[in-house]
């Protein structure tokens, strides 16, 4: 059983789509068409098929011809290639049914089997798959007892057939002459009178060969298969499934061939992935609360499904969650879904809710134009949504980390350092990092829209072990219609004067930092000054004016005193050749000097408008 699979992220640029179409998708199907005796099963994600339908409708005519002459079988799955185990049951079924409906409408055939997105398996997928009419699926041969043969697996009384996919054979075809591979295969099975069922997804070995064009490699591959057609019968899983009578039953462990680790482990290793997952679950709750408008509920749910593709969770070296555009596409879909849930009236609110699913409640401002979510750790903002543009300005990614350091803190906004005056913009060992310290949520005033967090002096402050350990911090957030205000109150609870810089680091994520994306200047009330987005230092200013040119949004960061500000771009994953920009880090220096027992107050205001 020969198969082909392909998927492309929603955020992929047109040139990326064309490259995949011309080197992977089209060559396989066009070459297959020339060999009518060879049958194959095809699985392309719904989002990829949709782009092909728009850009290359002639390809669909070719598929229709192959379907009509029963040379190919189209396989189902999740329309947006989601990580199925991470989804609520309703979304699992919805994603599969969406692709099933699309294939039936386009080609007149309802798929009988499916390919698991990202090859992620959990035993409790059996129920949703069979509910959607899927009779069989595929897993890598390494998860099967030896020898790897088709098996039955069960969960909660539901059964599904699982075909083993030969990765060993795929690698052999990628590295050796196809005729030699087939001869070796015959030798290993000589004298064995039992029929062997071999499933092969050659994937992209023909697209990745640098010495030959994909069409040439595939022609040699299919020509070799044709020459051995007296030894091999080419069929499709649907046809062979009908002839199965007795199959061994196997319970498969959790498995994946693409993630490298369990998807839920990725949520721990990469807090950026957990942020998207938490937003996905919260949006799912909002949609389920809709009553009386089925059409609006369905529209919101379809936007939610767009955000569930595995690309936004999978830490691929050449993309995945590392790519800003992939994460932005996920958040855009989630915020679009949230906006749909608000269409029939909305009242701004302030609630305490465990949004990021860590067992601790966060303060959640939900306004007409802005969402602002604040965690107790660091009393920092980890999500700041501008709803008119469906944009999360705090969606960024920490620079590439070694495996042992992957579970580091997300880059948030208003993460505070208390740094020596002479250190300037260098955060030294003599600084106190409050971003890892737990603040206490002491006030949540829903009527006035205030969330107040307090951080007590460190317990070891009297010993002098912690820099500026005698300083207590009080942070009060207030959300207005189009502005976020933060008031600091610092108190010196030691016995000696204290002098330092308060550095509230603010990461804001834009579509990019090029001249067509971003423009920075001093506050409009001050003299104009050209600022380089990748790195600049402003001295003696009361604000920073930012123009997000792609979104047509302006952000005005205002201080109640003169400050110095460092601006620098944050990039991650040097292996990526595109989309390396992640965010713009803004670090104001606010000098603080007060005697023992005194207080220091300052206010920062972030206005966002379009």
543 Cβ neighbours under 8 A, 6+ residues apart = 522, 523, 525, 526, 556, 557, 558, 559
In the predicted structure, residue 84 carries a pLDDT above the cut 50: yes
For 493, the token pair is 């609870």
Same domain (yes/no): 105, 172 = yes
Q: Which of 346, 372, 393 is the last residue of a domain?
A: 346
CA angle 11, 13, 18 (to 5 degrees): 125
CATH at 198? 3.20.110.20
Distance CA 430, CA 433 (A): 10
Evaluate whether 331 touches 392 at the Cβ level (below 8 Å): yes
The mean pLDDT of 106-116, rounded to a whole number, is 95
DSSP secondary structure code for residue 377 in this structure:
B
Give tens-digit pLDDT for 302-331: 999 999 999 998 877 667 888 899 999 999
The mean pLDDT of 355-382, rounded to a whole number, is 96
Give tens-digit pLDDT for 220-247: 999 999 999 888 899 999 999 988 878 9
Distance CA 549, CA 564 (A): 25
Whether residue 127 is contained in a domain is answered as: yes
For 513, the token pair is 């930092």
In the predicted structure, residue 258 carries a pLDDT above the cut 80: no
Tally of domains in the chain? 3
Same domain (yes/no): 391, 531 = yes
CA angle 309, 314, 316 (to 5 degrees): 125
The mean pLDDT of 130-135, rounded to a whole number, is 97
Same domain (yes/no): 473, 583 = yes
Q: What is the pLDDT of residue 408?
A: 52
Whether residue 252 is contained in a domain is answered as: no
Whether residue 176 is contained in a domain is answered as: yes
Share of the chain above pLDDT 90, in %: 72
Same domain (yes/no): 438, 500 = yes
Same domain (yes/no): 224, 322 = no
Whether residue 376 is contained in a domain is answered as: yes
For 463, counting Cβ atoms within 10 Å of its Cβ (0-12 exposed, 13-18 middle, 19+ buried), the class is exposed
Q: What is the pLDDT of residue 460?
A: 52
Give tens-digit pLDDT for 531-575: 888 889 999 999 999 999 999 999 999 999 999 999 999 987 655
CATH at 496? 2.70.98.10
Evaluate whether 549 touches 516 at the Cβ level (below 8 Å): yes
In the predicted structure, residue 490 carries a pLDDT above the cut 90: yes
Whether residue 43 is contained in a domain is answered as: yes
Give tens-digit pLDDT for 392-423: 999 998 865 544 333 457 889 999 999 999 88
Same domain (yes/no): 285, 225 = no
Whether residue 368 is contained in a domain is answered as: yes
Whether residue 251 is contained in a domain is answered as: no
Q: Of the given ranges (79-88, 214-223, 557-566), which has the lowest mean pLDDT?
A: 214-223
Long-range contacts for 599-602 (Cβ within 8 Å, ≥24 apart)?
Answer: 599/489, 599/490, 599/491, 599/492, 600/488, 600/489, 600/490, 600/491, 600/492, 601/487, 601/488, 601/489, 601/490, 602/487, 602/488, 602/502, 602/559, 602/560, 602/561
Give the residue numbers spanning the domain of 526: 351-609
Distance CA 541, CA 178 (A): 68
Whether residue 254 is contained in a domain is answered as: no
Distance CA 453, CA 400 (A): 31
Same domain (yes/no): 124, 180 = yes
Evaluate whether 522 touches 529 at the Cβ level (below 8 Å): yes
Same domain (yes/no): 557, 437 = yes
Q: What is the pLDDT of residue 133?
A: 97
For 268, the token pair is 């721990």
148 confidence band (pLDDT: 50, 70, 90) = confident
């Amino acid at each position: 059983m020969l198969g082909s699979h392909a998927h492309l992220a929603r955020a992929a640029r047109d040139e990326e789509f064309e490259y995949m179409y011309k080197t992977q998708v089209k060559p396989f199907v066009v070459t297959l068409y020339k060999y009518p005796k060879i049958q194959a099963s095809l699985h392309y994600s719904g989002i990829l098929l949709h782009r092909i339908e728009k850009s290359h409708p002639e390809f669909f005519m070719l598929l229709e011809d192959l379907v009509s002459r029963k040379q190919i079988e189209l396989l189902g799955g999740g329309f947006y290639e989601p990580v199925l185990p991470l989804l609520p049951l309703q979304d699992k079924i919805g994603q599969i049914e969406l692709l099933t409906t699309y294939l039936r409408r386009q080609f007149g055939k309802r798929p009988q089997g499916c390919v698991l997105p990202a090859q992620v398996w959990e035993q409790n997928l059996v129920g949703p798959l069979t509910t959607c009419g899927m009779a069989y699926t595929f897993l890598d041969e390494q998860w099967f007892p030896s020898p790897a043969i088709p098996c039955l697996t069960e969960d909660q009384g539901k059964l599904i057939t699982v075909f083993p996919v030969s990765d060993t054979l795929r690698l052999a075809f990628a590295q050796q002459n196809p005729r030699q591979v087939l001869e070796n295969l015959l030798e290993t099975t000589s004298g064995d009178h039992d029929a062997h069922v071999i499933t092969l997804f050659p994937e992209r070995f023909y697209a990745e060969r640098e010495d030959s064009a994909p069409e040439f490699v595939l022609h040699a591959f299919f020509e070799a298969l044709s020459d051995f057609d007296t030894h091999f019968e080419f069929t499709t899983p649907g046809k062979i499934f009908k002839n199965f009578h007795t199959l061994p039953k196997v319970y498969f462990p959790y498995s994946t061939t693409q993630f490298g680790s369990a998807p839920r482990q990725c949520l721990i290793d990469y807090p950026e992935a957990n942020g998207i997952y938490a937003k996905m679950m919260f949006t799912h709750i909002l949609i389920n609360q809709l009553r009386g408008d089925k059409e609006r509920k369905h529209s919101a749910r379809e936007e939610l499904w767009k955000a569930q593709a595995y690309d936004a969770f999978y830490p691929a070296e050449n993309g995945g969650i590392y790519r800003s555009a992939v994460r932005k596409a996920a958040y855009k879909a989630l915020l679009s879904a949230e906006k749909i849930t608000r269409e029939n009236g909305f009242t701004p609110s302030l609630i305490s809710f465990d949004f990021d699913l860590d067992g601790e409640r966060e303060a959640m401002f939900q306004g007409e134009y802005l969402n602002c979510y604040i965690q107790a750790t660091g009393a920092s903002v980890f999500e700041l949504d501008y709803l008119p543009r469906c944009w999360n300005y705090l969606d960024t990614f920490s620079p590439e980390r070694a495996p042992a350091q992957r579970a580091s803190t997300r880059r948030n906004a208003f993460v505070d350092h208390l740094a020596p005056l002479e250190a300037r913009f260098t955060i030294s060992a003599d600084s106190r990092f409050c971003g890892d310290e737990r603040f206490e949520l002491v006030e949540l005033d829903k009527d006035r829209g205030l969330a107040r967090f307090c951080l007590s002096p460190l317990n070891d402050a009297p010993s002098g072990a912690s820099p500026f350990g005698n300083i207590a911090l009080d942070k009060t957030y207030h959300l207005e219609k189009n502005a976020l205000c933060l008031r600091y109150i610092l108190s010196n609870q030691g016995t000696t004067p204290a002098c330092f810089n308060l550095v509230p680091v603010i990461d804001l994520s834009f579509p990019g930092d090029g001249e067509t994306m971003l423009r920075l200047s001093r506050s409009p009330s001050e003299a104009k000054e050209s600022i380089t987005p990748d790195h600049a230092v402003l001295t003696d200013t009361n604000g920073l004016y930012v123009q997000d040119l792609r979104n047509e949004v302006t952000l005005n960061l205002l201080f109640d005193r003169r400050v110095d500000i460092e601006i620098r771009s944050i990039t991650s994953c040097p292996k990526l050749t595109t989309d390396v920009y992640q965010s713009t880090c803004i670090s104001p220096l606010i000098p603080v000097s007060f005697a023992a027992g005194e207080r220091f107050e300052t206010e920062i205001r972030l206005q966002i408008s379009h």
